[in-house]
Structures are given as C-alpha cells and as structure tokens.
C-alpha cells in the first residue's frame, strides 16, 4: 500500500490515461454509429450508445481529477479525496443507466421480432465494427486498469471497467450480428438477445462499482484484514504497551484514521511524543504518505 508516486504525478498519470481513452472513444463512437446505421444493426447502435457513455465517463474522470489534486485547505481539512469517490459513484450510475437503456432497446426489438416483424439483416460493416471495438476497448481496459492500480485510484479502475463493459457489449453484439448474417433470417433474433445479455453484464459491474463508492461516501470503515495489518504494525513499535479505539475511513486514494496508544506513565512528554511519532510514520508507510494519522496518548497502568 505504500505510495509510489506523488500526488501531482498521480493526477498527471490519471489525466493522461483518461484523455487517451477519450480520444479513442470519440473515434470509435462515431464509427460504430455509422456502422450501426449503414449496417442496419440494432445491437451495433446500442453498442454505440454505450460508447457515448464511455466518452461521458472520461469527461467526468477528467473533471474529478482537476479537483482531487488540490491540497488540504481551510474548507477541506481532510483534502479533496471524496471528489474522486463521488466521481466514481457518477461513473457507476452512468453505467447503470446505459445498461437499462440497452436492455430496453433489446426488449423492444425482441418483442417486435416475436410479433412477426422481420429484423433487417445486418451488413458486414457492423460485424467489423464489433471486432474493432472488442480489440480496442480490451486494450484500453488493460492499459487503464494497470495505471489505476499503480496510482491506487478507484475512479480510474471504475473507468477501466467502463471500457471493458464496452468490450463485453461488443462481444455480445458480434455474436448477435454474426448469427443474424450467417445463420439466416430466423436467427436475426440473436441481435436483440445479445443486446439484452450484454446489458445484464454491464449492470452487475455497475452495481459493484456504485456499492463500493457509496460505502466510502457514507464513511463505512475498512475491512478487518486492513485493521489487523494496522494493529500488527503498531504492536511492533517499541514503547507501545497497548492500543485501542481505531477509527479509520478512506478518503479517495488515502486514509484518515485515529488511534489511542498506551505508553509507560512514567515517561516524559518528549519520550511519549517520540513513540507517537514513530507510530504515525509506521502507519503512513503502510497506508501511504498522504494518509492523515492522529495518535492519542494514554498512560499504561
């Protein structure tokens, strides 16, 4: 968990990977819309709509990072990390809306097919667009999630999943379009079925992202495993006799926590403060250098 980059470097890397994704998304969205219209594919048009949400997601991330890099000030005593969490929630909510729009369009096409309406045969350009989307969006996912993990950003990782959901969408679209093209008229129903299936996958990812970010916004504590790591770290600091009352929350990519430690009551203030300082440093080495650590001293009886 140790921070490998400064706050400025972290933001720069996050902005760079997101901006690169934005450029790819704009080009891909335009091509997919054209391929869907010219190729007469409902699934490809739905896929293009999903790519529009990817573009909007990139813009949300860029705006979020613009504020995240601001230092602690009088109006934000714990920094601006929650803006990153809020942006993550927005990205997750956008994914849910996209999934619902896609499933709605797919169900409409499916019902029309079941009523006897003939679904137009998609053209090969729609199939090519699906293949191009799968390759480019999976590449963007791998590239973005790698950076997200390196800079410890839930927002960048959520945006990476937005890229991957587009790749999932295109896989379903490719299956639907391929079946509609090569298996005959009665199999054209695969096109809207694929759109519905893809929307369910997207919805699951979106709910997971939104659940985690909302949990952080309402200040849910960290998991027991991290608490144990903190306790283990504190127990190894020389002079600490005992500890209790750990309170910790995540603030974007860093943590804010307080802890009571017990030291020998015969110590001078300077000696006790030295132990308190050592505890803070060890915890920051575990959680990251930007983490806010408050230690309260008590006499050990």
Tens of pLDDT along 248-299? 887 766 788 889 989 888 888 898 899 999 998 898 888 877 788 888 998 8
* Co-location of 63 and 167 in the same domain: yes
52 in any annotated domain: yes
pLDDT at position 252 is: 66
2 in any annotated domain: no
* Co-location of 190 and 252 in the same domain: no
Domain total for the chain? 2
* Co-location of 24 and 155 in the same domain: yes
Q: pLDDT for 27-61, tens place per residue?
A: 998 998 898 888 877 778 777 877 777 787 788 77
Q: Point out which residues pair with 244 in neighbouring strands.
A: 260
286 in any annotated domain: yes
What phi, psi does 40 have (nearest 5°)?
A: 55, 50
21 in any annotated domain: yes
For the chain, give the percent of residues with pLDDT over 90.
8
Give the lowest-confidence range in 63-72, 232-241, 265-274.
63-72
Q: Final residue of a domain: which of 165, 198, 217?
A: 217
210/92 Cα distance (integer angstroms)? 5
* Co-location of 205 and 262 in the same domain: no
Triad 10, 11, 17: Cα angle to 5°: 95
Q: Final residue of a domain: which of 184, 217, 250?
A: 217
* Co-location of 200 and 92 in the same domain: yes
Please tell me what DSSP assigns to residue 80.
S
The strand pair at 242-251 and 254-264 is best described as antiparallel
pLDDT at position 71 is: 61
The strand pair at 292-300 and 242-251 is best described as unpaired
pLDDT band at residue 3, thresholds of 50, 70 and 90?
very low
Q: Final residue of a domain: which of 217, 250, 274?
A: 217
* Co-location of 11 and 118 in the same domain: yes
* Co-location of 24 and 164 in the same domain: yes
Listing DSSP states for 92-122 in one string gives HHHHHHHHHHHHHHHHHHHHHHHTTPPPPPP
User: Taking a C-beta distance cutoff of 8 angstroms, is the pair 253, 84 a contact?
Assistant: yes
Strand order in the sheet with 292-300: 242-251, 254-264, 292-300
pLDDT at position 76 is: 58
Domain extent, residue 282, equals 224-300
As a whole number, mean pLDDT of residues 65-94 equals 68
* Co-location of 201 and 69 in the same domain: yes
Residues whose CB is less than 8 angstroms from the CB of residue 58 and which lie 6 or more positions away in sequence, other chains included: 18, 19, 21, 22, 25, 159
pLDDT band at residue 1, thresholds of 50, 70 and 90?
very low
Closest of 174, 172, 164 to residue 137, by C-alpha? 164
* Co-location of 209 and 287 in the same domain: no
209 in any annotated domain: yes
* Co-location of 114 and 163 in the same domain: yes
Q: pLDDT for 6-24, tens place per residue?
A: 567 777 888 888 899 889 9
* Co-location of 288 and 192 in the same domain: no
């Amino acid at each position: 968990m140790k921070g490998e980059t400064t706050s400025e470097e972290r933001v720069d890397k996050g902005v760079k990977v997101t901006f690169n994704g934005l450029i790819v998304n704009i080009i891909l969205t335009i091509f997919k819309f054209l391929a869907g219209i010219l190729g007469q594919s409902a699934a490809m048009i739905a896929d293009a709509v999903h790519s529009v949400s990817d573009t909007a997601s990139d813009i949300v991330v860029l705006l979020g990072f613009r504020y995240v890099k601001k230092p602690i000030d009088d109006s934000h005593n714990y920094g601006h990390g929650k803006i990153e969490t809020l942006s993550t929630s927005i990205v997750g909510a956008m994914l849910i809306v996209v999934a619902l729009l896609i499933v709605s369009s797919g169900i409409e096409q499916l019902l029309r097919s079941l009523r006897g309406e003939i679904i137009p045969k998609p053209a090969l350009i729609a199939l090519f667009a699906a293949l191009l989307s799968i390759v480019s969006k999976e590449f963007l996912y791998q590239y973005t999630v790698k950076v997200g993990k390196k800079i410890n950003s839930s927002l960048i990782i959520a945006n990476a999943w937005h890229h991957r959901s587009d790749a999932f969408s295109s896989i379903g679209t490719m299956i639907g379009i391929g079946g509609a093209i090569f298996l005959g008229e009665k199999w054209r129903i695969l096109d809207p079925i694929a759109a519905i299936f893809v929307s369910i996958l997207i919805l699951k990812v979106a709910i997971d992202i939104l659940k985690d970010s909302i949990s952080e916004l309402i200040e849910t504590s960290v998991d027991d495993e991290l608490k144990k790591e903190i306790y283990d770290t504190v127990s190894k600091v020389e002079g600490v006799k005992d500890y209790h009352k750990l309170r910790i929350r995540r603030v974007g990519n860093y943590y804010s926590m307080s802890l009571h430690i017990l030291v020998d009551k015969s110590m001078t203030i300077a000696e006790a403060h030295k132990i308190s300082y050592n505890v803070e440093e060890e915890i920051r080495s575990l959680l990251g250098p930007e983490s806010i650590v408050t230690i309260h001293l008590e006499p050990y009886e």
